[in-house]
Amino acid sequence: MTDNSKLESISDLLRRDVIEMTTEAGSGHPTSCMSCAEVFSVLFFDEMNYDPGDASNPGNDEFVLSKGHSAPIWYASLDRAGAIDEELDSLRKLDSHLQGHPMPISLEWVEEATGSLGQGLSIATGEALAAKKQDRDYHTYTVLGDSEVSEGQVYEALELASYYDLDNLTAVVDVNRLGQRGETIVGHHMNWYRDRFSSFGWNAEVIDGHSVQEIKNAFENSHASDRPTVILAETVKGKGVSLTEGEQGWHGVPLDEGEMQDAFEELPDPEMPEVRIPQPEEQEKPSFQEKKVDMRTYEQGEVLATRDAYGNALADLAEARSEVLAVDGEVSNSTRSEYIKEDNPDQFVESFIAEQNMISMAQGLSIKGYEVFTSTFSAFISRAHDQIRMAALSEAEITVVGSHAGVSIGQDGASQMGLSDIALFRALRESRVMYPCDGNSARKMVENAHKSGNMDYIRTTRPETEVIYGPEEEFPIGEFKKVEEPEDTDVVLAGAGITVHEALEAREMLEREGVQAAIVDIYCVKPFNSYNFRRFVESNSGKLVVSEDHYPEGGIGEMLGKELEESNIEMRTLAVDKIPHSGGKQELLENCGVDRKAIKKQALNLVEDS
């Protein structure tokens, strides 16, 4: 245990560090750091077990800074611990590893991008759950701000951490009372906080957040509890400097040079005390089992939904690799991720109807070595758009699977139809978007996502479709399939998923009128080999009809329009350009103008205009 006087000295030094760092940067959040200086001092120099010389030590306790704007005090703590060798006054500079908010691409001690508030507790929940599943001893800590406790996702994480009995998870809320523009919704009513967190089954400790002894005691109590623990630390924003202490108007505002010098007159300036940081027990990285499993395949002519093929492929992959996890938002009987439970129930995690928490928790699980396939209806993925965005910034390696895509789901109506999901995932850096049209291509999409190292999205459909590819067909990432290629092509019909089958039907209708159509399956929307596609269309009439069960904005037609804008290809696009109604699958495809009849009409218009 580190002596209290040493921890108090470190708190003073951390306050000086963050003031100097943010003044030099000319921006940042010094007062949000100053309120939690004692918490960081105790965490990093007394409580947490970690090896300052090895960020990847498998025995290290996990730390998530949910209040990402307080990054400077994390950097200062790591610097004082000897964990990093950075110039602290380089904060927020273009060539610095110390970004304004934590980013994994810049610093090895940072495993998740934070700063979009409310997400850290969910990530920490995933990391703590991973420890339980792997039977490992590390503890997970996270620090939240009191303003972010207004975020609904925090409560999604609270209920799930309690459900899974995560007594290896400790959250600290820095209750400094002041948000960006004034007092928070709860202020310093600490009993309100205690009652709120306790009602979710957490052990709640209310303390003076500037007393190192009370902080120590609270951590000790957390280890004795059989519940997840939240330490509600009553603090003062801008603590230690009379100009800022408890004053409004200082959120995200650095001190100027003169104010910094005045502050340094008030703040003690001790020597950095010698401390011994608790070292982790030696642990091996988690080991996962691997065995040979034959993935299920389908014969041409069979009929099944791509969601069923996805569920089968996921179950087979889980049987082969023990690190594969299915995480689902209480719709696993529809997404078919429940198939994994038949033989490997321990490789399924129920996140219930809490999609924001589901994505961030999946990110936490992936950080600890799991290969996560997380699924819900494609329409509900939009609820977690920001969580997906932040996971992409973290370079998280997770696969998101959206089922029940498009109007083809039928009578459930527009609220259940995913019609903007392709746009969402296309907009992410380094993402991959896959859209299979039959059972064998769906199986290969799962195989493509396996160990891809990317943020992947697989879009599946509810209705059954005919298997058009043989079991041995390959589906390289970035390419497309030439399903039909007549000798003398009059027009090319391109689709994805359900509209591949509509294009095939349109082809037969056109053939009866003497028009020959080639069929292209755009099974990989991103990345896309536009060079090869352009060459194919140009060598097959130069006329193209694209149909998709998605809104025009951000969809496949828009993607192709951008990729082919400098070509001489004549292109017509069909997409769902209205708010759909309830109805049958075929009725809706026709009503929304993306069915075989609409494809045929556009194809004939192109051919006749030439």
Number of helices and strands in the chain (H, E): 21, 19
Q: What is the 3-state secondary structure (H, E, C) of 367-410?
A: HCCCEEEEEEEHHHHHHHHHHHHHHHHCCCCEEEEEECECHHHC
Q: Determine the 3-state secondary structure of 582 from DSSP.
A: coil
What residues contact residue 341 under an 8 Å CB cut-off, 6+ apart?
332, 348
Distance CA 190, CA 176 (A): 11
Q: Which two tokens stand for residue 174?
A: 């820095």
- End-to-end CA distance of the chain: give it in Å, rounded: 83
Phi, psi of 433 (to 5 degrees): -125, 120
**C-alpha distance from residue 207 to each of 63, 98, 290, 507 (Å):** 21, 31, 47, 72
Q: Which two tokens stand for residue 296?
A: 């299920």
Phi, psi of 19 (to 5 degrees): -65, -45
Catalytic residue among 214, 234, 355, 558: 355
Q: Which two tokens stand for residue 438?
A: 């039959």
Query: Which residue bears the tokens 């498009």?
Result: 406
C-beta separation of 99 from 106 below 8 A: yes
Is 355 a residue of the active site? yes
Question: What's the CA angle centered on 180, arms 179 and 184, to 5 degrees?
Answer: 25
What residues contact residue 45 under an 8 Å CB cut-off, 6+ apart?
2, 6, 7, 10, 77, 80, 81, 275, 277
Peptide linkage before 72 cis (omega within 30 of 0): no
Distance CA 71, CA 115 (A): 9
**Of 381, 382, 395, 387, which is closest to residue 328 (Cα–Cα)?**
381
Which residues are known catalytic residues? 355
